[in-house]
A and B are shown apart, each in its own frame.
Chain A
């Protein structure tokens, strides 16, 4: 297995706040890897560093290419896409326009149409609502839209920031089913979650983040059974 994403000694500072303190991790081709941790642990900061929204120190490479000198808007062309924290759909654009934005850098029109159809098969609800403004969708629908929009870039690596946040249990189940499904179709996924139980269930491997440091790592199943993880993150 070769790593798609390699992060080495990553540091993120917000002014004098040292949010990420030299973490290293990797994601292999075809894996689902999750990053779990409490509020403020630094999960979003890590993703923001990978996508280039915050300045960071350390190495980040995608398929062997260093990302530190690559502009934010060029990273998607290398195969990196994200469903950001809070979903980040464009509320005043229609569902279809949001999806088209996902394919912004692509010019293969007929392939884009095919991918659009795929999204609609995966989420029939989005097809029904395609000409509706995204801001009028329910939270669950917006999350589906955010994931679909990221998929429209045909990413090699999909970053998901708390896709289950604020959703009803049924919808949470659905979202994790989608994660599994996308992965089975060959998409490599880095998942950030506070819902540790669900995240660990669908993950091959996971890292536990605490105040900017990785304190534990292992197979999803093993962490699910680990006493300290159970106490701290699974509430048992």
Chain B
């Protein structure tokens, strides 16, 4: 029981990070029906933005709330700027091109970021600045509640609350939902859909930036290919929840994190990464629209 609770806490903590990254895939898909393969590399750039930002301000080794805020700021700003730029330079010129062309471009952008990362940052791992000092807050029934896990949960929770407010209670959020259901009608009503798309890319990318800081905080080792596996898992989480569906991405992320922790805890950590592929194959066979996705029929 006590084991289970511990795995549960770890799983939710890991899952909320997957959820943050999955949101970026799902929001972009929701608006453009594009799987943005570069999203996982935007995540990587988030970690490096935070790394260099901390260096700039001398925060490499001054854990605390200030460090957390500063790192989040640099990661989010770096990612938002990059997401915006990628959309502008790579995807926008292809707005009317066949889906396949855009997909291939996305893969190209992803590779470009990975290899530029290796050239610019070097292929060797770097040590992420220490964000918060970890310690056990309380221990009940033999289950440990640690600072880092609580911080991950709090930060994710605040981000999701903010995102929910933005999407469901502001004018720009309304426009995002309108553009994602019917771009033509939205434009006729006066929405500059290109601007909304840029905003969506920046927003989704910023959330990946948050994820990169939270991961860096727990596993402080960053390198240019660090986005690949976690990006894949977040993508599977988005598909599991129903790609294009925002609550689905959160649900999918949590389920992915939980099942991964359970597999590691009760089977073997060898299966950690295989699990994601297993889940992907199962959804594609049994429920291709995902848990919260609708019917799978594309709207016309």
Contact = CB atoms under 8 A, between A and B. Distances in A.
B188 A101 contact: no
Contacts of A143: none
Chain B binding surface, main DSSP class: helix
B174 A77 contact: no
Given A90-B182, A93-B174, A77 B188 contact: no
A82 interface: yes
Given A88-B182, A90-B181, A91-B181, A104 B188 contact: no
A73 B192 contact: yes
B177 A93 contact: yes
Interface string A49-65: 00111000000000000
A30 interface: no
B175 interface: yes
A66 interface: no
Given A93-B178, A104-B171, A104-B175, A88 B190 contact: no
B226 interface: no
Contacts of A115: none
Interface size class of B (residues with CB under 8 A): 10 to 19
Nearest to B175: A104
A90 B178 contact: yes
Q: In the complex, which of the residues B182, B185, B191, B192 has the most CB atoms of chain A within 10 Å of its own CB atom?
A: B185
A101 B175 contact: yes
Given A53-B184, A84-B185, A73 B190 contact: yes
Nearest to A82: B188
Given A84-B185, A101-B186, A104-B171, A90 B191 contact: no
A236 to B, nearest CB: 36
Contacts of A182: none
Nearest to A71: B192
Contacts of A93: 174, 177-178, 181
Nearest to B192: A73
A224 interface: no
Contacts of A149: 189
A101 B182 CA distance: 12
26 contacts: A51-B188, A52-B188, A53-B187, A72-B188, A73-B189, A75-B188, A81-B189, A84-B184, A84-B185, A84-B188, A88-B184, A90-B178, A90-B181, A90-B182, A97-B177, A100-B174, A101-B178, A101-B189, A101-B191, A104-B171, A104-B175, A104-B189, A104-B190, A104-B191, A105-B189, A153-B190
Interface of B: 171, 174-175, 177-178, 181-182, 184-193
Interface of A: 51-53, 71-77, 81-82, 84, 88, 90-93, 97, 100-102, 104-105, 149, 153
Ranked nearest first, the 5 interchain pairs of A and B with the lowest CB-CB distance are A105-B190, A88-B185, A76-B190, A72-B187, A104-B190
